[in-house]
Amino acid sequence: MDFSLTEAERDLVSLCRDFAQKEIAPRAPLAWEDARCPTDLLREMGALGLLGMLIPEEWGGIGMSTVGFVAAMEQLGLADQSVAAAWQAHVTIGSLPLYLFGNDAQRERWLRPLAEGSALGAFGLTEPDAGSDARGIRTRAERRDGGWLINGQKAFISNAGTDMSFGVTLLARTDSADGDASEFATLVVEKDTPGFTMGQKMRGIGWRGLDTRELFFDDVWVDDDHLIGDPAMGLSQFLSTLEVGRISIAALSLSLTQAVLDLALEYARERRQFGQPISKFQAIQFKLADIATELEAARWLTYRAAYLRDIGEPFLKEASMAKLKASRVATWAASEAVQIHGGLGYMLETPVARFYCDSKVLEIGEGTNEIQHVVIARQLGC
Ligand SMILES: Cc1cc2nc3c(=O)[nH]c(=O)nc-3n(C[C@H](O)[C@H](O)[C@H](O)COP(=O)(O)OP(=O)(O)OC[C@H]3O[C@@H](n4cnc5c(N)ncnc54)[C@H](O)[C@@H]3O)c2cc1C
């Protein structure tokens, strides 16, 4: 396996490094304070082609490889996790169902604006009573003449409520011909559709810039052309999209771990106690060495999952392993990095404290780590 980057991937990394350092990093503390999705930054990223990262040029994207996407994330997430979280949710789960399962007319109508960067995509799976158990969703789409009547509620949906959002691609139960409500369909509901409303932006302990809300559907009517793909295949469409989402969360975790390692190393070299820099204490050196080693292990799992997707091989188990390992490493490394900063690390004025707050959700989003264990164990034949 050769993970060395192609010229196009290297150019992308350098573009992302530049944008992250010049544009994202200086505005990150403000985005944290405002707790608002920085759509100004996302629009600028759209103008650079970054919002259509995994979508072919034919549909307005830049057709980047998954390996290139991971490498780009390593740069963007170093600067700010909220921006990177909103970006990755758009690039993967927000856009891919439309590309992978939509027809050409639907791609033209909904995917192209997402890929060209004028709109933001959202993925509506989770509900108040159904998170890990996706099959347990209650939102229902009833087939009537010429379309679908949708009733239900979604919870924790990212990117649906910003001034750039186009609406949501959601999963709903449907009635099959024999009346057995065990089938699921993927449907698009555009913002401003009558009966589609939202709650307030929720306040997380991290990812403060990410716009996450409850969505409500009260007799929402959509025409037949809003159905994405096979009406019986919605659940498998959503679950397969999540496989890519897991590589993405793993990549976000790598960027967080690298960020806290850099911060801890810099601080350890500067901070003096007992007449010397704390980096001279072996206890501190071992923490840093452990973080660097674990990061490298997580990095290999993540690039391998991305590489398998790029060469068209199955990557379900590898994506779950990457997400499990990388998110664990990130939450642990963030805690160690705060420890190295002592009291200062506890204060939200310092970037390391913000990364610490951002880390926990990596073990929850796009399938909790317990669910990653379930997926891996099943793949092992349990
Ligand atoms: C910031 C944020 C953004 C999000 N964005 C989106 C989004 O854009 N779209 C979307 O659809 N969802 C989104 N989510 C939802 C996220 O995917 C869910 O929170 C996650 O899948 C877990 O579901 P839950 O919260 O209902 O927890 P539950 O499923 O209720 O789980 C509670 C606990 O039980 C454990 N558990 C459950 N089942 C099992 C099992 N079989 N074995 C062992 N342990 C188990 C879980 O691991 C967890 O520890 C977001 C969540 C957050 C926090």
Q: Where are the domains of the chain?
A: 7-116, 123-232, 236-379
CATH topology of domain 7-116: Butyryl-Coa Dehydrogenase, subunit A; domain 1 (1.10.540)
| Pairing verdict, β 140-144 and 196-198 | unpaired
> Taking the model in full, what pTM does it have?
0.97
User: What is the distance in A from the centroid of ligand 1 to the CA of 354?
Assistant: 22
Q: Would you state the pLDDT for residue 231?
A: 92
Q: Would you state the pLDDT for residue 176?
A: 58
d(CA 1, CA 338): 35
Q: Would you state the pLDDT for residue 313?
A: 98
d(CA 323, CA 333): 15
Q: 98-121, pLDDT tens digit by residue?
A: 999 999 999 999 999 999 999 999
Q: Would you state the pLDDT for residue 343?
A: 98
Q: Would you state the pLDDT for residue 294?
A: 98
- Whether 131 lines ligand 1, by a CB cut-off of 6 Å, is yes
- Whether 365 lines ligand 1, by a CB cut-off of 6 Å, is yes
Give the nearest ligand 1 atom to 125 CA: 11
Task: Report which of 172, 188, 185 is spatially closest to residue 230, judged by C-alpha positions.
Answer: 185
- Whether 37 lines ligand 1, by a CB cut-off of 6 Å, is no
Q: Would you state the pLDDT for residue 180?
A: 57
Domain 123-232 has CATH 3.20.20.70: no
218 vs 141, 150, 153, 195, 198, CA distance in Å? 11, 7, 9, 5, 11
Catalytic residue flag (residue 33): no
Q: Would you state the pLDDT for residue 29?
A: 82
- Whether 95 lines ligand 1, by a CB cut-off of 6 Å, is no
| Domain 236-379: homologous superfamily in CATH | Butyryl-CoA Dehydrogenase, subunit A, domain 3 (1.20.140.10)
Residue segments in the chain with a per-residue pLDDT below the cut of 70: 176-181
- Whether 267 lines ligand 1, by a CB cut-off of 6 Å, is no
Q: Which of 183, 294, 318, 366 is catalytic?
A: 366
Give the nearest ligand 1 atom to 130 CA: 26
Give the nearest ligand 1 atom to 132 CA: 29
Q: Exposure of 22 by Cβ count < 10 A (0-12 exposed, 13-18 middle, 19+ buried)?
A: exposed
User: What is the distance in A from the centroid of ligand 1 to the CA of 97?
Assistant: 20
CB burial string 223-259: b at 16+ within 10 A, e below = eeebbbbebebbbebbbebbbbbbbbbbbbbbbbbbb
Q: Taking the mean position of all CA atoms in its chain, how far away is CA 334?
A: 19
